[in-house]
Amino acid sequence: MRVKAAVLHEENKPLAIEEIELQPPKRGEVLIKVGAAGICRSDLHFIKGEAPITLPAILGHEGSGTVEAVGEGVTMVKPGDRVILSFVPNCGFCHYCETGRPHLCDTALSVNRGVMMDGTSRHFTASGKQITNMGKVSCFAERTVAPESGCIPVAEDFPLENAALVGCSVTTGVGAVLFNAKVQPGSSVAVVGCGGVGLNVIQGARIAGATTIIAVDVQDPQLDFACRFGATHSVNASREDAVARVRQITQGGVDYAFEAFGGGETTNMAVEMTRKGGTAVIVGLAPVGDKAPIEAMTLTRLEKTIKGCYYGSSRPRQDMPRLVELYRRGVLDIDHLVARRYSLDQINGAFADLDSSKVGRGVIVF
């Protein structure tokens, strides 16, 4: 099958809009007509060469769509179903799957080299060269093939744009608060980095009942936007000492600090913002090789905790429907996260807008 896709051939170069060859789904796989794909900074890391990926590649990991066909043995979805695409499909049988942490699936990680769960590819250039698949999703294409376990059914009336965001930024951010840190009502929270994920960390803190939610960023528009989603205070780290200001607001530091930017310096900032016995949750994906200069003594004497958090520590098949229900009840705001819409042909402009720190999420609509 020939489909149009945005292909990354070279780092720091525009994505090429071209026709590629997509093979049909094999056993346990699903052919998806992509409906929407979010523009996420994780993709930008690959475009800029800050994270390694074999080229050529089709990026796009925050997506949704409609099932067009299924491979042998598929039982959880059928043609016509709308689905959220999860970039952490799981095998169901490894240690992590069987102990309730499918987002850390050993099998998915062991074959996470730009191919499907069986180790083979479905995406090829017009000349027959294999194209790397990102996260077994690659939704910067009109159609894609995904593992059945990475397709989470959603009701027909749920907007595909919103479903795409649940596929990454919503689950990652809200999940970091509810599923990883388990923030308690009345707590104080700081969020370092108020992009797509950070905004959802803020929403998660509001949903959890945190009473002090401090947004930290270097852009005033981002901070203003964060207040619309539940931030009670804002700190511009480009104009003042963010750690000192957070400590001043909370009289000693926050109970929970979330790093949602992705960097060593901001990771250290999050740790220093926490009070004695506080918890720093590292959510953002830093460039490969970036390190955080954390003073080890403070962990011992002040009993601080540092937690990693991948994909919101979520169980996608159970937790994504829960987030959809929070949206339906008016508790979780997804509608206003979407600030810009683009066609696939406009994808390079979409990433330029992301890199210029425009507020809200950009979405490719098919």
Catalytic positions: 40, 42, 45, 61, 168
Among residues 212, 169, 164, 207, which one has the least CA distance to residue 187? 212
Backbone angles phi, psi at 14, to 5 degrees: -60, 150
Helix (H) or strand (E) holding 298: helix 296-301
Buried b (16+ CB within 10 A) or exposed e, 61-75: bbbbbbbebbbeebe
**Whole-angstrom distance, CA of residue 25 vs CA of residue 225:** 41
Looking at residue 139, the DSSP 8-state letter turns out to be -
Report helix, strand or coil for 53: coil
For residue 282, what is the enclosing H or E element? strand 274-282
Compute the half-sphere exposure of residue 160: CA atoms within 13 Å on the CB side of its CA: 20
